[in-house]
Structure 1
Amino acid sequence: MNPPLPPSSRYRLWPPRPALLAGLGATGLVLGVTAGAFAYAGGFLSPGRLTQTRIVDRFEAINGLHPGFRRNHAKGVCVTGTFESNGAGARLSRAGVFAPGTVPVVGRFAVGIGKPFLPDNETEVRSLALSFRPAGGEEWRTGMNDIPVFPVNTPQGFYALMAASAADPATGKPDPARLKAFLDAHPESARALGLIKARAVSSGFADARYNGLDAFRFIDAAGRSTPVRWSMVPLDPVVAQAPPPAGARDPNYLFDDLIARMATGPLRYRLVVTAAAPGDPTDDATVAWPEGREQVDAGTLTLDHVEAEGPGNCRDINYDPLVLPDGIAPSDDPLPAARSAAYSVSFTRRAGEEKTPSEVTVPPRPPGAASSETPRPATGG
């Protein structure tokens, strides 16, 4: 039997505002936020209760079955590049990736939907998943989203949010009564969704800030542990979003814009690590840590090649958040373990399915162009 999940006992009194509830009734917001969620909702409870299999089954029930694709964040594109550490992160973590020097990176940009052929739109949550591959065989995998907090803080809450925000077949929109019932039962989600709705949305993938929403622990050479979160902050100037008119936009306009931008030169981001202060919650991804916390600029991520998903590239990597090197460890946040369990189920299913080519296509690499990727057997889903 699998070990139990931490109990869902952290809900706070926070009555949802009518304006927020009305906003959640719009088609784009709740579905976008829900779809934008990673599968933060596996499970290790006793038989008959919530399990990682039931989570993945619910994704399939809501989105349909799309053989060969991830059950969430199904639409994506692969990127490769390097991370150049400036050595500043080594004060907090002994992980090799923070020693001064450069390591190869294999990543994936995606939108938070479970339907790989759905047209892009401005409400979609964007994500960046990365696999850092320093010498010595250790690896660090992480997934980040362009939202400030996660909409739930437990796997049980995520499972309930999926049901509450699923479209009613009769209307094609979420049922307001179901949404209200969910928010009444999960006031922490009402607060988090308000923050997500209020965020500034960038023009595309290149200028978005990607946040690791869960807390982890960095462990230094002396064994001292520091709770942290991290972000990839773009060096491209942030552009206010001005999407094409709905009737005129390319169905893959977000990806096409990314590909066109990368044709002009590499994308660069700063890896900014935020250290918690005493009392900052590490077990609740719906709560943002206050401004003014210590931040460490640990180095620069450079992404210089983009390609469509295919055999042997990011398509066949499971960006499991618990693939961690020595020097990075989980915190008491229950979501990474749940994600890890659900990702495993998703990967196992899609690994045995016939692959359908991705809708996102990328022009072929110019003759003689070099890749920054260091091949390594891919594992996971």
Structure 2
Amino acid sequence: MSLFRYTRAGQEPGAPRRHSPLLWIGLIAFIAGLLILAFAWLAGWLGRDRATAQSFTDTIEATGARHPGFRRAHSKGVCVTGTFQGLPAGAELSSARVFRQQQVPVLGRMSIGGADPHGADANARVRSMALQLVTDDGQEWRTAMNSFPFFAVPTADAFLEQTKAQIPDPATGKPDPAKMAAVAAKYPSVRAFGEWAKSAPWSTSWANTDYNGVNSFRFTNAAGKEQVVRWSMRPQAAFEAMSAEQRAQAGLDYLADEFQQRLTQGPVQWEMWVTLAEPSDAINDPSIPWPAERRQVKVGTLSLTAMQPQASGACRDINFDPLILPSGIDGTDDPILAARSAVYSVSFNRRERETASGAAKATGEAK
């Protein structure tokens, strides 16, 4: 019997088939249930063993003392402002307006690694630069870079493992060495990162530090040609190594004080370079550096001209999400990139709620 000629009792042949209202109600309820489950999953309410943005942020918070109103990582820093001037070489690689506009205003943040907003600048192994560039057509490019040349772990789950291992043991107040050693034994990149941290010289200033965007991104030019890149900011100021004696004698806000002094003498500048990937390069694993012989292209110059305290500066309430990108620049499938974006969002929302609720003021904290 043809399905198209099947009729129910009381229904004329050829008439549209009518479904029971209960069927539609059940279908709507089923779809609504799926949406609720999906929302709960993404929110971290289900599957607590998986690396959600919420569980990740909880783990980061557990590694040290709580400081309401501050960023969960790179808590101590200053706001900076300046400009970016793109070069034709950048415009050949990407259609992003930032490489064509004569001068793009920049709002940024210089910071140190760690979650202590009152820590000593000179004792921070990692220094960081975060930027927001807004072009005259309203498009934004936000990027967060660090002084290390590669990431310590290859995936978000590995990053969560590493962070959990850094949670202090209640009995000692320090991370368990056995847990730290287990993570290092499991991931060769953790051991390599540790060697970098021990052997690489410390710079004496934010101004003479290289900042690397260790994640991979995809540039697309006006002709539609794609090129995977990693970018970095290279200082025009000559590198100077910081001695152990200098670190011991440096003041609490050494980097901020030194940077402010430099700004009184004129703009502090970096050249922006992109490294072009080849087919054999690791695109989605930021723990693997690309070979030094890869082609590198200078695409612009960053000039910072002023500094403000982060408590009152314009950078205070900006989430430097690395996946806020203009047309002509796209993210890759790098899992660390996606994890950074998600955790930054959760951290931002938490500290904004703390500030709005007065929790930061109640503890005497300020951003």
Q: What TM-score results when the alignment is normalised by the length of structure 2?
A: 0.82
The answer to whether the 8 Å contact 2:80/2:110 transfers is yes
Structure 1 CA distance, aligned partners of 2:365 and 2:231?
A: 30
The answer to whether the 8 Å contact 2:70/2:366 transfers is no
Structure 2 CA distance, aligned partners of 1:105 and 1:216?
A: 20
Aligned to 1:266: 267
Match of 1:213, SS state, is strand
Q: Deviations over 1:35-84 (max 9, x none)?
A: xxxxxxx9999554221101111122222221111011110100000001
Residue 167 of structure 2 corresponds to residue 166 of structure 1: yes
Residue 351 of structure 2 corresponds to residue 350 of structure 1: yes
Structure 2 CA distance, aligned partners of 1:165 and 1:258?
A: 31
Aligned to 1:190: 191
After TM superposition, give the deviation of residue 172 of structure 1 in Å: 4.7
Distance 1:246 1:270, change over 3 A: closer
After TM superposition, give the deviation of residue 100 of structure 1 in Å: 5.0
Identity %: 43
Distance 1:257 1:311, change over 3 A: closer
Q: What TM-score results when the alignment is normalised by the length of structure 1?
A: 0.79
Match of 1:129, SS state, is strand
Q: Deviations over 1:153-205 (max 9, x none)?
A: 21111111112233445445433211221122222322333234333321121
Aligned to 1:278: 279
Letter in 1 for 2:58: D
Structure 2 CA distance, aligned partners of 1:358 and 1:235?
A: 36
Aligned to 2:58: 57
Letter in 2 for 1:261: R
Q: Deviations over 1:245-294 (max 9, x none)?
A: 56643111122111222222210000001111121001111111001111
Letter in 2 for 1:218: F
Point out the structure with max Rg over C-alpha.
2
Match of 1:177, SS state, is helix
Aligned to 1:333: 334
The answer to whether the 8 Å contact 2:67/2:365 transfers is no
Kindly report the root-mean-square deviation, in angstroms, between the aligned alpha carbons of the 2 structures: 2.5
Please identify, of 332-341 and 45-54, the stretch whose mean Cα deviation from structure 2 is larger. Answer: 45-54
Taking the TM superposition and a 5 Å limit, the aligned residue runs for 1:1-381 are 1=38, 46=47, 48-242=49-243, 244=245, 248-311=249-312, 313-354=314-355, 355=360
Structure 2 CA distance, aligned partners of 1:282 and 1:296?
A: 18
Distance 1:338 1:286, change over 3 A: same
The answer to whether the 8 Å contact 1:53/1:342 transfers is yes
Structure 1 CA distance, aligned partners of 2:254 and 2:333?
A: 39
Distance 1:212 1:43, change over 3 A: farther
Letter in 2 for 1:326: S
After TM superposition, give the deviation of residue 123 of structure 1 in Å: 4.3
Match of 2:103, SS state, is strand
Match of 1:97, SS state, is helix
Paired residues in the alignment total 324
Distance 1:304 1:246, change over 3 A: closer
Letter in 2 for 1:322: L
Structure 2 CA distance, aligned partners of 1:148 and 1:44?
A: 35
Structure 1 CA distance, aligned partners of 2:230 and 2:45?
A: 25
The answer to whether the 8 Å contact 2:64/2:167 transfers is no
After TM superposition, give the deviation of residue 242 of structure 1 in Å: 2.6
The answer to whether the 8 Å contact 1:127/1:146 transfers is yes
Letter in 2 for 1:144: M
The answer to whether the 8 Å contact 2:82/2:107 transfers is yes
The answer to whether the 8 Å contact 2:69/2:366 transfers is no
Q: Deviations over 1:128-152 (max 9, x none)?
A: 0000111111000000000111111
Q: Which structure carries more helix by proportion?
A: 2
List gaps (5 residues or longer) in structure 2.
Answer: 1-37
Letter in 2 for 1:249: A
